[in-house]
């Protein structure tokens, strides 16, 4: 039986996340983090999605973004995760499912969501890859890294 379409509408800001299958470690090396960031930038060139913030942790990720058109978010995530899985299997000589399930996406209704969400903002391992930008009222506090050019302000 086919899955029901999510109906993710363009123009809204979403908090998107997914976990490694069985909470397995997805990002094993610095290169794994960097490659995922480069894929995010490339996906945003293919599909009209604006990224505001992200947090990559060893076994999962969070991204705050705005798809410019309806239906683009699912295509953006599909391209990102499929490209990532192919690369991961090739580099780490693995097989099978890498991501736990379908990605999750929730509309962000207010900036307070960022200030109260410890996975996007707050104490944690310094190995997390975090980038936050302040745009049009979207605010949060985090340690900034230097993302690929497609993800910079």
Residue showing tokens 């910079």: 152
> pLDDT digit string (tens) for 20-70?
998 889 998 889 999 999 999 999 999 999 998 888 889 999 998 999 998
Q: What does pTM read for this prediction?
A: 0.73
4 neighbors 83 (Cβ within 8 angstroms): no
Q: Nearest to residue 120, comparing CAs of 97, 138, 103?
A: 138
pLDDT tens readout for residues 117-143: 545 544 443 344 555 443 333 333 233
- Cα–Cα dist 23/3, whole Å: 24
Tell me the longest C-alpha to C-alpha distance in the chain: 44
- Backbone phi and psi for residue 57, each to the nearest 5 degrees, phi listed first: -115, 165
Q: Residues 87, 37: contact at Cβ < 8 Å?
A: no
Res. 12 pLDDT band, cuts 50 70 90? confident
Lowest mean pLDDT among 5-19, 34-48, 97-111, 122-136: 122-136
Select the more confidently predicted residue: 80 or 11.
Answer: 80
DSSP bridge pairs for 66: 50
Structural domains in the chain, CATH included, are 14-151 (3.30.70.1290)
């Amino acid at each position: 039986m086919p899955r029901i379409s999510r109906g993710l509408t363009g123009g809204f800001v979403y908090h998107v996340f997914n976990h490694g299958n069985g909470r397995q470690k997805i990002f094993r090396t610095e290169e794994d983090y960097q490659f995922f960031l480069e894929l995010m930038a490339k996906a945003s060139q293919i599909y009209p999605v604006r990224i505001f913030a992200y947090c990559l942790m060893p076994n999962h990720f969070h991204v705050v973004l705005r798809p410019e058109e309806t239906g683009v978010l699912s295509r953006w995530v599909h391209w990102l995760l499929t490209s990532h899985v192919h690369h991961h299997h090739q580099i780490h000589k693995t097989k099978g499912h890498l991501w736990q399930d379908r990605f999750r996406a929730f509309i962000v209704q207010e900036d307070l969501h960022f200030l109260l969400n410890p996975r996007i903002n707050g104490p944690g391992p310094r190995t997390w890859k975090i980038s936050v930008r302040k745009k049009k009222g979207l605010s949060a506090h985090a340690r900034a890294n230097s993302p690929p050019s497609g993800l910079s302000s």
